[in-house]
Amino acid sequence: MALPTTASSTTPTAATPTVDGARVYQEGFVAGILGAFTVALWFLVVEALHGRPFYTPTVLGTALFGRGVWPATLETMPPSFEMVAMFTWVHLLTFAVLGVVVSRVLAMAERNPSLGFGFVLLFVILEACFTVAAMIVAEPVLRALTWRAILAANFLAAAVMAGYFWFRHPTMQMRP
């Protein structure tokens, strides 16, 4: 008579880390896209209320890709769907990469909870550095766009991404 076996009595296979790695990348990609859509939706609503939809991606696309319209005409620039499309791709890819990086960091914090608080502190420091760098380097863009709207979009994206990660990892613990 054969004895029943369970899955827990088998040893892990080499495919286990790959599946875990795939999950980490998938969660990061989804979180990044959610963050990018949050920022895009925020600016679409804010600009629609001011009667200038697609203004922010037009200005940022022009600032990023040039086209000789810098910086004097940023205030009166009409929407350019070419610039919107070009900047949207960069925006989505940047957030996807950021989401994957955060997902990898969270995977490390899950294995070692004492790292979690350090990662939270690192996020706060990087957010402050982003704000200062944007104020110094992109001053004409910040004059055309409002820095309060940019900060609000940044924090909304961080909140949406954190909410998604919290949903995916409800039992994760962090210790100082």
The answer to whether residue 153 sits within a structural domain is yes
d(CA 140, CA 9): 63
The answer to whether residue 54 sits within a structural domain is yes
16 pLDDT band, cuts 50/70/90, is very low
- The region, left, alpha or beta by phi > 0 then psi within -120 to 50, assigned to residue 5 is beta
Q: What is the pLDDT of residues 80-126, one digit of tens each?
A: 889 899 999 999 999 999 899 889 988 888 888 888 777 878 878 87
Count the domains in the chain.
1
The answer to whether residue 123 sits within a structural domain is yes
What is the pTM (predicted TM-score) of this model? 0.77
The answer to whether residue 44 sits within a structural domain is yes
The answer to whether residue 11 sits within a structural domain is no
Residue span of the structural domain in which 139 resides:
23-168
* Structure tokens belonging to residue 155: 């924090």
* Structure tokens belonging to residue 8: 């827990």
61 within 8 A of 124, measured Cβ to Cβ: no
Q: What is the pLDDT of residues 147-175, one digit of tens each?
A: 788 888 988 999 999 999 989 988 877 77
Q: Of all residues in the chain, what percent are helix, strand and coil, respectively (each to 5)?
A: 75, 0, 25
The answer to whether residue 2 sits within a structural domain is no
d(CA 130, CA 128): 5
